[in-house]
Amino acid sequence: MNYQMITTDDALATLCEAVREFPAIALDTEFVRTRT
C-alpha cells in the first residue's frame, strides 16, 4: 500500500489523473480546525 499526503490543489489534481482508471481507491481525510 502506498501513502501520499496531498497538500495542494495541484497535487490532488495530479493524483486524480493518475488513479482515474483504478477500480477502487482509499481516501482518508484529516481536517485541521484553524478557528475555534
Per-residue pLDDT tens digits for 1-36: 778 888 899 999 999 999 999 999 888 887 777 776
pLDDT at position 36 is: 65
d(CA 12, CA 18): 10
Pick left, alpha or beta for residue 12 (phi over 0 → left; psi -120 to 50 → alpha; otherwise beta): alpha
Kindly report the backbone phi and psi dihedral angles of residue 18, in degrees, each rounded to the nearest multiple of 5, phi listed first: -70, -35
In terms of Cβ atoms closer than 10 Å to its own Cβ (0-12, 13-18, 19+), residue 15 is middle
Q: What is the pTM of this model?
A: 0.60
The pLDDT value given to residue 14: 96
